[in-house]
Chain A
Amino acid sequence: MNLTPDQIIIFEVWGLPINATLVFTWVVMALLVAASMVITRNLRPDVPPNRWRTMLEVIVQGIQAQIEEIADGPSRHLLYFAGTLFLFVAVSNLLLVVPGFEPPTSSLSTTTALAICVLIAVPMFGVSSRGLGGYLKTYLEPTFIMLPFNIISEFSRGISLAIRLYGNIMSGAVIAAILLTVAPFFFPVVMDVLGLLTGMIQAYIFAILATVYIAGATAPSPQSSTEKDIQQ
Chain B
Amino acid sequence: MSIDWITVTAQIANFLVLVWLLKRFLYRPILGGIDAREAEISNRMQDAVTARDKAEAIEETYRDKVQALHVAQAEMTETIRQKAEQQRDVLLADAHAQMAVEQANWQAYLDGETRKYTAKMHGAGAGALLSLTRKALIDLADETLEAQMIRHLIQKIKPLAPKLNNASVQTATAVVTSHAALTDAVQNAVRSELQTEFPKVSVRFNTEALQAPGLVLRLDGVQVAWTVDTYIDGLEAMIADQLAKGPEMRAQSNGT
Contacts and interface: CB of A to CB of B under 8 A. Distances in A.
Nearest to B33: A43
B2 interface: yes
A93 to B, nearest CB: 15
A91 to B, nearest CB: 10
Contact of B30 (A6, A19, A60, A104): A60
Nearest to A63: B27
Given A19-B7, A26-B14, A109-B11, A57 B26 contact: no
A40 B21 CA distance: 13
Interface string A80-99: 11011101100000000000
Given A45-B39, A60-B31, A109-B7, A84 B12 contact: no
A32 interface: yes
Interface in B1-54: 1-12, 14-19, 21-23, 25-27, 29-34, 36-37, 39-40
B15 A84 contact: yes
A169 interface: no
Interface string A25-48: 110010011001100100101100
Q: Classify the secondary structure of A's interface with B.
A: helix
Nearest to B44: A46
A193 interface: no
A40 B126 CA distance: 134
Interface in B115-155: none
Contact of B11 (A25, A43, A80): A25
Contacts of A49: 33, 37
A10 interface: no
B120 to A, nearest CB: 110
Nearest to A56: B30
Interface string B170-195: 00000000000000000000000000
A87 to B, nearest CB: 7
Interface string A1-34: 0011010000000001001011001100100110
Contact of A108 (B2, B9, B10, B31): B2
A6 B4 contact: yes
Interface in A109-125: 109-110, 112-114, 116-117
A107 interface: yes
Contacts of B15: 84-85, 88, 113-114, 117
